[in-house]
Amino acid sequence: MSKSAKWSPKENESKRLPIYQHKSKLIQAVKDSSFLVVTGETGSGKTTQLPQYLREAGFCKDGKIGITQPRRVAAITVAQRVAQEMQCTLGKEVGYQVRFDDCTSQDTVVKYMTDGCLLREVLADPALSQYSVIILDEVHERSLNTDILLGLIKKVFTNPAKATKGRSFPLKVVVMSATLEADKLSAFLSNCPVFAIPGRTFPVTCTFGSAVGPKDLESTGYVKEVVKVALDIHTSEMAGDILVFLTGQSEIEHACDMLFEKAECIDYRYDVTDQSVDGLLILPLYGSMPTDQQRQIFQPPPPGIRKCVVATNIAATSLTIDGIKYIVDSGFVKQLNHNSRVGMDILEVVPISKSEAQQRAGRAGRTSAGKCFRIYTKEFWETCMPEYTIPEIQRTSLTAVILTLKCLGIHDVIRFPYLDCPEERFILEALKQLYQFDAIDRRGNVTKLGELMVEFPLHPGLTRALLKAASLGCQDLLLPVAAMLSVENIFIRPGHPDKQKEADKKHRALAAKTGSMNDFATLLNVFQSCKSSDRPSAWCKENWIHWRALKSAFSVETQLRDILHRLQQKKDFPVETFDGNKSELFRRCLCTGYFTNVARRSIGKVFCTMDGHGSMVHIHPSSSLFDQEAELNWVIFHDVLATSRVYIRTVCPIRYEWVKDLLPKLHEVDAYELSSVAREEVTAEEMTKWESREAAKRQSEVSNEDAMKKLEKRNNETTVSDARARYLQRKQQRQQSKAL
């Protein structure tokens, strides 16, 4: 057939995918129902093929097909592949949109995008009127944005009265997920049908170990054990590469060092050119690693050499390495959890879930049968590992998300249809913060300021400070700072002690140049100095600054500037004036967004937070204020880190007068009030109760002095977090094992 000669290899390949034989049934299933759950493991072809099938079947007549992904790279690479398969130019019929990169046009009918992008679109067009089909992909990963989109879709489109509002034709929704969550998702979306596509993976045999049991929850013995197991594999198993899962950068470097000492190896750090050694090629892999080093991971090892990649969870979903046949699973992961008891985010090492362990094991079966060596016992699996990973929505700060919902007109944020409901106190905490930032009023309604704030892709506190600066005409001070604080850490601190000293020295010099001992000012200085440099990347290298991170800060700043510029065109954008010097102006703006993060010197180097929790904190060693003895009594800070101590990081000295009038706001309102009046059905009784409490409150305004006394009292009682205790214990064990 002459037609077949035209087929590209890709096209042939797509017909061999497991999904192909279900094509007509799948199209019919989408036609038959407004909601559909499609399950299929990685490799089934659902992400690339389903949108093409639906386009062929005429679903693009009235609108676009939108497919969401939790990650940027996935959205881009999948769009590239589909454009190739459809033999069209990327950005024409097939396109993608991620932050900073919109590759779509008028012609685009198949649009891949990140879930965050679609959420932004919903804010502008809640009816999603441009789309005929929305496909949510990788729903089992339960990213915060995907979860919110799911809830919004349920709320709007399962209600026939609301579903047609703002639309001229009905919307089709397809939710794609790994097999495990299928029934739950179907139940959530009005018991919609489930379509299962078989996967194409190879069997992976899993074995349990004996090294880590339920009693070893707080120990770091797993680092030693994974090294031992990896060496065992190297000496006794058939050819095939190894992937080791650990939790963080320093741990990975340590494990690589141990492997290098114990095996006949090539370590890329010392010797990549000598390919004559028969042995192990050891490659660390974590997110903040330079990209050219990351690229080495994907190259096949030299002949006769086995590759051993030691990675963080980045290798579980974000990156796929070919040729992996053996997995060594430590059973742990580092996770950022919001702790509402102490009111902060804590980065901690926790056991992975059973489903995550299966995901890790699956990485060995991509190209052939594989083996997974779990270093923990069966008992550990049964008693310490939860069935599923707790979804992000249940363990992060919800302030920004709640503001988004409020701006979408969803007042009852407690009874929003969450697939998994966050704890009520998390929601209340978010409401309280929004109230403190003047984003919502006492009745839980979004204020004018709140409507401005939701436009910015930033934490609300940072946005609040930025808007204050804008109203005072000094946005140029705050825009770079906001950008710098919303990208990954820009200061490089190498593992080698000598280089560490060198880096620290450079960083201190950057701080000193501002002449003000204010970490926010240092960020501004780094931003401006690099930007005005002739050779910015060389400047970064010289000063131990992450060029990649700083580059993204440059783009973020431009984006924030554009958003701000657009909002300032509005006629009711607030305008204020201020008399005083620049440094005070800068710091006063910061106070507007950071008065929830105020600390006061207590005794010596110990500070005490003024947020109502009264935690004892120290200034982080990376801060320019770390060794300042000066009369430094009041500070604001950007974030908290719980390691050997509870540290505040990115710190700025302030005067008490600047926050005096703001601090009472931290105590004046009970979060329950914000939520109960926000609920759609408020009983008359509830209303009177609330009114009378309001009246009582007005009569007895809590004075600052009273609030301070209360905090002082709490200081003596509390409150170093559990995370710190665990850290100390681990450190001790580490030292003991070192001594042996």
Partner DNA sequence: AGAAAAGCC
Where does this chain bind DNA (CB under 7 A)? 70-73, 98-100, 114, 116-117, 120, 144-145, 247-250, 286-288, 312-314, 318, 334-336, 347, 392, 400, 457-458, 486, 489, 491, 493, 504, 620-622, 626-627, 641, 643-645
Least distance in Å: CB of 318 to DNA? 4
CB of 244 to DNA, least distance (A): 14
CB closer to DNA, 647 vs 658: 647
Give the pair of three-digit tokens for residue 569: 């065109």
User: C-alpha 494: how far from its chain's center?
Assistant: 24
Give start and end residues of each alpha helix (H) in 282-342.
291-296, 314-317
At its nearest, how many Å lie between DNA and the CB of residue 673? 28
Q: Which is nearer to DNA, 20 or 626 (CB)?
A: 626
Q: Minimum distance between the CB of residue 507 and DNA, rounded to whole angstroms?
A: 8
Identify the DSSP state of 666.
Answer: G
Minimum Å distance from CB 373 to DNA?
22
For residues 30 and 398, which CB has a smaller minimum distance to DNA in the complex?
Answer: 398
Cα–Cα distance, 502 to 520 (Å, whole number): 22
Specify the residue, 140 or 172, whose C-beta has the smaller distance to DNA: 140
Closest distance between DNA and the C-beta of residue 167, in Å? 23
Minimum CB distance to DNA smaller for 470 or for 641? 641
Scanning 408-474, the segments in alpha helix (DSSP H) are: 424-436, 448-453, 460-471
Distance (Å) of CA 157 to CA 70, 151, 154, 189, 534: 22, 10, 6, 9, 54
**How many residues comprise the chain?**
740
Give the shortest CB-220-to-DNA separation in angstroms.
12
Evaluate whether 327 touches 245 at the Cβ level (below 8 Å).
Answer: yes
* Distance (Å) of CA 11 to CA 36, 197, 247: 26, 20, 40
Q: Are 202 and 369 in contact (CB under 8 A)?
A: yes
Gap between the Cα atoms of 350 and 334, Å rounded: 6
Contact between 48 and 91 under an 8 Å Cβ cutoff? The reply is no
Closer residue to DNA, CB minimum distance, 489 or 537: 489
Q: Which residue, 472 or 484, has its beta carbon nearer to DNA?
A: 484
**Least Å distance between CB 397 and DNA?**
10
The torsion angle over the Cα atoms of residues 146, 152, 157 and 163, rounded to 10 degrees, is -130
CB 648 within 8 A of CB 640: yes
Residues 611, 617, 623: CA angle, nearest 5 degrees: 110
Of 587 and 620, nearer to DNA (C-beta) is 620
**Shorter beta-carbon distance to DNA: residue 145 or 516:** 145
Shortest Å distance, C-beta 656 to DNA? 27
Give strand pairing partners of 446: 440
